[in-house]
Amino acid sequence: MNTNVAVIFDMDGVICHTNPYHSLAFREFFSGHNLNPTDEEFAAHMYGKSNSYILSHFFKRPVAGNELQQMEQQKEGLFRKIYEPHIEPIAGILAFISDLYQNGVKLGVATSAPHANLELILGKIDIRQKLGSVMASEDVKKHKPDPEVYLSSAKNLGVLPENCLVFEDSFSGVSAALNAGMRVVGVLSSHTEAELPPCNLYIQDYTELSYDKINHLFK
Closest CA to 128 of 149, 105, 114, 107: 107
**Residue 116: pLDDT over 80:** yes
How many domains does the chain fold into? Answer: 2
Query: In angstroms, rounded to a whole number, what is the distance separating the alpha carbons of residues 162 and 146?
Result: 16
134 lies in the same domain as 78: no
pTM to 2 decimals?
0.92
Residue 139 forms part of a structural domain? yes
**Residue 49: pLDDT over 90:** no
Q: Express each pLDDT in 117-161 by its tens digit.
A: 999 999 999 999 999 999 999 999 998 999 999 999 999 999 999
142 lies in the same domain as 213: yes
- CATH number for the domain spanning 67: value is 1.10.150.240
**pLDDT computed for residue 1 by the predictor:** 41
Cα–Cα distance list, 103 to 6, 21, 95, 157, 162 (Å): 11, 34, 12, 15, 19
* Number of residues assigned to the chain: 219
**pLDDT computed for residue 3 by the predictor:** 60
Q: Which residues contact 167 (CB under 8 A, 6 or more apart)?
A: 7, 8, 9, 10, 14, 184, 185, 187
| 1 contacts 103 by C-beta, under 8 angstroms | yes
Chain mean pLDDT for the chain = 94
Domain carrying residue 60: 19-85
